[in-house]
Amino acid sequence: MNQLPHITKNFTFEGEVTSTGLYGNGHINETHLVITVDDAGKERQYILQKINKRVFKDPAGLMGNYALVTEHLRKNILARGGDALRETLTLVKTVDGKNFFVDDDGEFWRATLFIVDSASFDKVERPEQFYQSGVAFGNFQALLRDFPAHLLAETIVNFHNTPDRFRQFSEAVAADVKGRASSVSDEIAFVREREGFMRLFEDAYAAGKLPLRVTHNDTKLNNILFDKNTGDPVCIIDLDTIMPGYAINDFGDSIRFGATTALEDETDLSKVNFDIGLFEIYTKGFLEGANGGLTEAEIAYLPESAIMMTLECGARFLTDHLQGDTYFRISRENHNLDRARNQFKLVSDMEKALPEMHKIVEKYAK
């Protein structure tokens, strides 16, 4: 059943819409699968998303980025003989030729072609899959290397500015709007003890040691679609946060989500362990995909980036728990607290494994 006729009628979908339904496991946007059938009985699928305006304050700027980046990727993919309709996202225009539709409530909607015979994963199923995702994200950065960064709107200001995340966390603790701070004092202390570490990359940037590049900024495994038949990565999705950033954070965020023995919201922490074997194969893949494009300083910081992104994400989950779960979508009580504890367990594991992580990076950087 088409539950969104007032929205779907504004897009140039081929055929008649026969059904719409919620889809996927993203924490941010509202994602729907749209199915259409044409007169000849041919079925087509599309993804329709309501952009989360609480998270993305400038949805029109975001869609400007989206159109520019997908066009750039399309050209680069075609130039190397690839299938652009499958290897990057393709926007479906509205009936009046625009890249997005604004409804009567001021909500922003966009549609893309559905990448058929593909799937995304919330957990690494085979080590080879994680290796390939490293190649894919490394290569994605390489594809964006010639993209003019000044054209990009900053879709979330200070997105991976970790000291600023610490500031927001501290404000949430002080405000304690839900009266939850006293029940999470251990978790609050865990973040506070690492305030100095959280400045590492911003200090390095200020000292001219880290370059600003065009990066994805949300490189978790479920933001890659894999081919259902071959298992190979097909397309990198979730392009909302593409903006200037540090290349190493794309590495670190993938490790955060993927190099673990459990899901991101597993509550039994005895099951949540950092998997150094997965760290190693992702490192190998990412450096191959980046194809010599990283500086020595960037490579040297890769292990710390894994800790930084995991700590930052944990602090963001904890902040959202303190603020009453207004940012990340939750599906149970204390969901964001569970996620925060899970991330902090990984941070502790990674801190212990840091010397070994450095040795691994050195091995593949040669």
Positions that interact with ligand ADP (CB under 6 A): 23-29, 31, 47, 89, 112, 114-115, 118, 120, 222-223, 225, 237-238, 240
Based on the shown chain and the rule CB under 5 A, indicate whether residue 223 belongs to the binding site for Mg ion. yes
Number of residues lying near Mg ion (CB under 5 A) = 3
Say if CB 61 and CB 155 are below 8 A apart. Answer: yes
Based on the shown chain and the rule CB under 6 A, indicate whether residue 120 belongs to the binding site for ligand GN1. no
Say if CB 217 and CB 160 are below 8 A apart. Answer: yes
Residue 223 CB, shortest distance to Mg ion, in Å, is 5
- Residue nearest ligand ADP by beta-carbon distance: 26
Based on the shown chain and the rule CB under 5 A, indicate whether residue 120 belongs to the binding site for Mg ion. no
- Residue from 218, 250, 280, 349 touching ligand GN1 (CB under 6 A): that is 218
Residue 241 CB, shortest distance to ligand GN1, in Å, is 5
Partner interacting with residue 299 (select from Mg ion, ligand GN1, ligand ADP, none; CB below 5-8 Å by kind): none
Q: Give whichever of 213 and 316 is closer to ligand GN1, judged by the CB atom.
A: 316
Partner interacting with residue 313 (select from ligand GN1, ligand ADP, Mg ion, none; CB below 5-8 Å by kind): ligand GN1
Based on the shown chain and the rule CB under 6 A, indicate whether residue 28 belongs to the binding site for ligand GN1. yes
Q: Give whichever of 98 and 123 is closer to Mg ion, judged by the CB atom.
A: 123
Based on the shown chain and the rule CB under 6 A, indicate whether residue 73 belongs to the binding site for ligand GN1. no
Based on the shown chain and the rule CB under 6 A, indicate whether residue 304 belongs to the binding site for ligand GN1. no
Based on the shown chain and the rule CB under 6 A, indicate whether residue 264 belongs to the binding site for ligand GN1. yes
Based on the shown chain and the rule CB under 5 A, indicate whether residue 238 belongs to the binding site for Mg ion. yes
Name residues whose C-beta falls within 8 Å of residue 268's C-beta, 6 or more positions apart in sequence: 262
Residue 185 CB, shortest distance to Mg ion, in Å, is 32
Say if CB 135 and CB 285 are below 8 A apart. Answer: yes
Residue 123 CB, shortest distance to Mg ion, in Å, is 15
Q: Give whichever of 13 and 328 is closer to ligand GN1, judged by the CB atom.
A: 328
Residue 260 CB, shortest distance to ligand GN1, in Å, is 12
Give the interface with ligand GN1 as residue ranges (CB under 6 A). 26-28, 55, 218, 220, 223, 238, 240-241, 264, 313
